[in-house]
Amino acid sequence: MGAVLPQPLSKFAAGIVIAGQSGYLIAVNDILYQISTWLLPLTMAIVFHEVAHGYAARLFGDNTAARMGRLTLNPVRHVDPVGTLALPMMLAVAGAPIFGWAKAVPVNPARMRNPRWHMVLVALAGPGTNLLLSIVALFGMAAVIATLGDADTPARAFLWDNLSNFIVINIMLAIFNMLPFPPFDGSHVVEGLLPRPIAARYAAIRPFGMALMILLFVGIPLLFPEANVIARLIGPPVQATLEFANQLLSALV
């Protein structure tokens, strides 16, 4: 599926204070800076996630994504203007839960040599790539510390914020997209692991996946804010992974 956007973008909506003309300028500058340090890593994470699905599918015999020109790092080919950019930013500014999507890379399991198991690996390729990218970013942060130290410069701050946000986004994308129900990548893994008769019944709910996602992550939070669905589902594994990332960074420096 297209990479689903989790909560991190909401951070740039925090701390905006408008108090007269100077306060307005500070607020605008803060918003622009936060967007610049979230949008670049977010776009990169989504693009690599989708391209990984396509390359994995081609490895196993399905060249659908390649024929449609989707095996490219050009974000224009993957970013949905509404689902990836406009909607998440409007929700973030409004302080609402972030919800969005990217253009899904087309995959045809019937073209794969072993559709059942190869589709599982194709589904894992996106989240797996996100986790790999978070490790690469950790080495980038270690390099910043080694070369720039604690230098208080705008360039270092911008680079550091992009790398740290890149780690958070990739970890959250990986875990968020492994939720075990349609349309998330995790649903394909579950479908491949279930016995065939049960898998067939499970696959029958796939057409309702988008409606289910909207219900869980928009409808329920609006009607029952105390349910805190997103935090309960992905909060613990995300926190544990981020703590491990901090430990790894400490070991690197």
Residue 61 in domain: yes
- Residue 27 in any domain: the answer is yes
User: Is 191 considered catalytic here?
Assistant: no
User: Domain tally for the chain?
Assistant: 1
Torsion, CA 242, CA 244, CA 248, CA 253, rounded to 10: 60
Range ranked top by mean pLDDT from 13-17, 90-94, 109-113: 109-113
Where is pLDDT greater, at 226 or 198?
198
- Whether 34 is covered by a domain: the verdict is yes
Per the domain annotation, does 91 fall within a domain?
yes
Catalytic residue among 50, 191, 226, 243: 50
The boundaries of the domain holding residue 182 are 7-252
Whether residue 12 has pLDDT greater than 80: no
| For range 7-13, the mean pLDDT | 35
Distances (CA, A) of 30 to 3, 58, 125, 220: 27, 42, 35, 31
What's the mean pLDDT in 202-230? 82
Model confidence at 210, pLDDT cuts 50, 70, 90, reads: confident
Question: In angstroms, how far is the first alpha carbon of the chain from the final one?
Answer: 37
Predicted local distance difference test score (pLDDT) of residue 19: 37
The closest of 7, 192, 5, 207 to 109, measured between CA atoms, is 192
Average pLDDT over every residue of 157-181: 90
Domain membership of residue 126 (yes or no) is: yes
Higher pLDDT: 19 or 30? It is 30
Kindly state whether residue 2 falls inside one of the protein's structural domains: no
Greatest C-alpha distance within the chain: 65
- Whether the pLDDT of residue 196 is over 70: the answer is yes
Predicted confidence (pLDDT) at residue 28 exceeds the cutoff of 70: no
pLDDT score of 100: 57
Q: Is the pTM of this model over 0.75?
A: yes
Tokens of 215: 């219900």
Q: Is residue 1 a part of any domain in this protein?
A: no
Q: How far apart are CA 90 and CA 218, in angstroms?
A: 14
Give domain status of residue 173, yes or no.
Answer: yes
Tokens 């019937």: give the residue. 110
Residue 23 reports pLDDT greater than 50: no
Report cis status (omega within 30 of 0) of the bond before 115.
no
Give residue 188's pLDDT. 95
Query: What whole-number percentage of the chain has pLDDT above 70?
Result: 81
Per-residue pLDDT at 135: 96
